[in-house]
Structure 1
């Protein structure tokens, strides 16, 4: 019986994957048309596993949670994690967001969320699946910072906003978590309901770099 159950479960998972649509899937062509490789390129990274955590740093529960994630960031802007795949972003003194690949989600066989829930146990705190709550935009290129500076109040100069920094802010009046993953690469985490507006806003902000220079 078990031998036939696994293929059936795999088929169900594949069926669900084929049927779903990401919050900005309808903008794929617009992102490609508005991008200039090396200058400003925008894409959606859909279906990442995201988990909201509330736990007091220094508590036994925080120690157990940290053992699952590979650590918890210590202060504003910090990002920690076990490896390149699992990252933990600081949102507040006792609030964090874990970002991990789709494969970490329980719906496709991953155990990250259940492991975090077990680590918290009955102690005070919270573990919430946010995977369907937000999507991920990645903006990269030599003008990525300039595109964001058109509508972001943060000081994004590399001396201040270094690679490996993540902060809550607004882009085009849309609340996002902004994470600089490399010198010319930023990831934005808007709520799914704002993905269309923010995606179009970013494409419009990139427009000058996609236009030929006027003699």
Structure 2
């Protein structure tokens, strides 16, 4: 049996205005259900170790968490090695509930963009206001990154996490590396100004 690998083999690029790297393998489960249902909330919390987040937010622990994808959808994050067991526990807990839980780990790729100019890089590619007072750790967006859909959140003040379809991994990596090319700084002092 072959070993699981990331879409691009862990590619990275540091010689830029922000560091771009493919993230390690991540367990990801899509959960579609009535998010106000107490059984769904309980099962999701037990599986991820985090409360169900509200619209546009993410609740993360050390290795697991929940991302709000839509009014009836969550993205559950867990260690890659534990995704099958986590999915089985979730499905068992929801057996009497109208819900769908699917392992999408190998259908997705993820990247990190880090550094003081990470907001500039992301702002070139997405129709999202990434000013510090508008987008901060704990916030979550489903949006477009140039021509492809992406899910984005910040795991720290200068670190973005991006999830895209695995089939689009090379395109997203190329977009990020071009947006972060040396000499492409938007703000001379490296600090994105807060909007009035």
TM range (shorter): 0.7 to 0.9
Find the aligned partners of 2:168 and 2:41 in 1 and give their Cα distance: 34
User: Could you tell me how far 1:62 is from its partner in structure 2?
Assistant: 1.1
Quote the Cα distance in structure 2 between the aligned partners of 1:71 and 1:144: 27
Q: State the partner residue of 1:91.
A: 69
Q: CA deviation at 1:24?
A: 1.8
Aligned length in residues: 184
Counterpart Cα distance in 2 of 1:58 and 1:147: 36
Deviation string, structure 1 residues 84-117 (Cα, Å, up to 9, x no partner): 21110001112100112222223xxxx2111111
Q: CA RMSD in A?
A: 2.1
Specify which structure has the higher proportion of strand: 2
Alignment match, 2:189:
none
In structure 2, the residue matched to 1:187 is: 161
Asked whether the equivalents of residues 167 and 178 of structure 1 are also in contact (C-alpha less than 8 Å), the reply is: yes
The TM-score with structure 1 as length reference comes to: 0.78
The residue aligned with 1:44 is 22
Write 1 or 2 for the structure with the bigger share of helix. 1
Residue aligned with 1:207, SS: coil
The partner residue of 2:109 within 135, 145, 159 is 135
The 8 Å contact of residues 40 and 141 in structure 1, kept in 2 or not, is answered as: yes
- Identify which of 34, 38, 47 aligns with 1:68: 47
Could you say which structure has the larger radius of gyration?
A: 1
Q: Distance in 2 between matches of 1:203 and 1:182?
A: 20
Q: Which runs of 5+ in 2 are unaligned?
A: 186-196
Hey, what does 2:8 align to over in structure 1? 24
**Residue by residue, what CA displacement relative to the aligned partner does 1:108-132 show, whole Å, maximum 9, x if unpaired?**
xxx2111111111131011010101
Check the 8 A contact 2:59/2:65 in 1, yes or no. yes
The separation in 1 between residues aligned to 2:165 and 2:77, in whole angstroms, is 14
Instruction: Report deviation, 1:72.
Output: 3.9
Q: Which of these residues, 121, 128, 140, is aligned with residue 147 of structure 1?
A: 121
